[in-house]
Amino acid sequence: MSAATVPGESAQKLAELIYVELVGRAFLRAENTATIKPEPAALAKLSIELAQAFRKAEQQVAAEAAAKKNVGYDIRSADIGAWDK
């Protein structure tokens, strides 16, 4: 994994939560033996990819909301100074 694709701290925590959830769902118990299907490494990789996708979508939604919030307003410091008069 390159430095550009390493998840940030919050993305890493999200990936850990996703991994725990996936492992819990992938746990297979048969005749007193327990196995995890698919492999734990594959689940870890999937967890990181899902966390990164979630953070990217979260950033897009936040950017779109910020853009909508600022539509139609053009406030300059001179305008604010006029309020004190």
**34, 27 Cβ separation under 8 angstroms:** yes
> What is the reported pLDDT for 78?
61
pTM of the model: 0.59
Rounded to 5 degrees, φ, ψ at 12 are: -65, -40
What gap in Å lies between CA 54 and CA 13, rounded to an integer?
12
pLDDT-derived band at 48 (thresholds 50, 70, 90) equals very high
pLDDT-derived band at 30 (thresholds 50, 70, 90) equals low
Beta strands in 1-85 (DSSP E): 27-30, 33-36
- The model's pLDDT over 52-80, given as tens digits with 9 standing for 90+, comes to 999 999 889 888 887 777 666 666 666 66
Sign of CA dihedral 24, 25, 27, 30: positive
Query: Would you kindly state where each structural domain of the chain is located, as residue ranges?
Result: 9-71
